[in-house]
């Protein structure tokens, strides 16, 4: 009998570790990709901007996006936190908060893969996504980030609620709708299995 531990994210990875017969730890790991079309785009080289102390927040946001696309989440977070200190423009703050949510979601996955737990990054992802929703209440991306973080935390009911809410703000023919639906079906299956487990 196999027992799985699972991580899912909007941007992409489901990690499957397993325990074999008699509870012996197996070294087998598999990766299942939930690819969101938004994250399949190549980095925009025009966003590779050198940031100085006098750089405008808009340039910092471009650099955050560039570093995120290059998976340099630490640099993107550093820039995001610096950008938040430079502006009180709520529209920009909402965009930066969403970017930070995405970076912390990814950092949680990296930490989980290395040390077996997320190091608190998924909670930070939720925190920043909720701040983004204060500015952009219909942001399906922020809602999906929260759903993904809850999925990673195995909080199936909360994950499902946020995925449903995210889908309300997308056209059913949008490829992102399908990506969220695939994650939602996974969450529903895990909820079902959890209820069946004695």
**pLDDT at residue 40, as a whole number:** 56
**pLDDT at residue 198, as a whole number:** 75
**Which tokens hold the place of 63?**
């650099």
**pLDDT at residue 48, as a whole number:** 81
**pLDDT at residue 119, as a whole number:** 86
Mean pLDDT for back-to-back runs of 10 residues, the chain (198 residues): 36 40 39 48 77 92 92 96 96 97 94 87 97 97 96 95 97 94 95 88
**pLDDT at residue 118, as a whole number:** 84
Phi-psi domain of 100 (left: phi exceeds 0; alpha: psi -120 through 50; beta: other): alpha
Domain ranges in the chain are 43-196
Q: Which fold has domain 43-196?
A: 1.25.40
């Amino acid at each position: 009998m196999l027992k799985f531990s699972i991580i899912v994210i909007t941007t992409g990875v489901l990690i499957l570790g397993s325990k074999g017969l008699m509870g012996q730890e197996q070294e087998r790991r598999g990766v299942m990709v939930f690819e969101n079309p938004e994250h399949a785009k190549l980095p925009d080289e025009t966003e590779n901007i050198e940031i100085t102390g006098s750089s405008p927040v808009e340039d910092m946001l471009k650099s955050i996006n560039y570093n995120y696309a290059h998976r340099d989440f630490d640099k993107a977070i550093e820039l995001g936190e610096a950008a938040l200190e430079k502006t009180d423009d709520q529209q920009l703050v909402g965009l930066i908060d969403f970017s930070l949510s995405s970076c912390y979601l990814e950092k949680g996955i990296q930490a989980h893969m290395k040390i077996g737990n997320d190091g608190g990054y998924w909670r930070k992802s939720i925190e920043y996504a909720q701040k983004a929703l204060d500015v952009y209440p219909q942001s399906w991306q922020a809602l999906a980030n929260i759903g993904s973080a809850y999925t990673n935390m195995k909080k199936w009911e909360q994950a499902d609620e946020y995925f449903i809410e995210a889908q309300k703000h997308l056209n059913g023919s949008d490829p992102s709708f399908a990506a969220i639906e695939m994650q939602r079906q996974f969450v529903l299956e895990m909820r079902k299995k959890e209820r069946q487990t004695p």
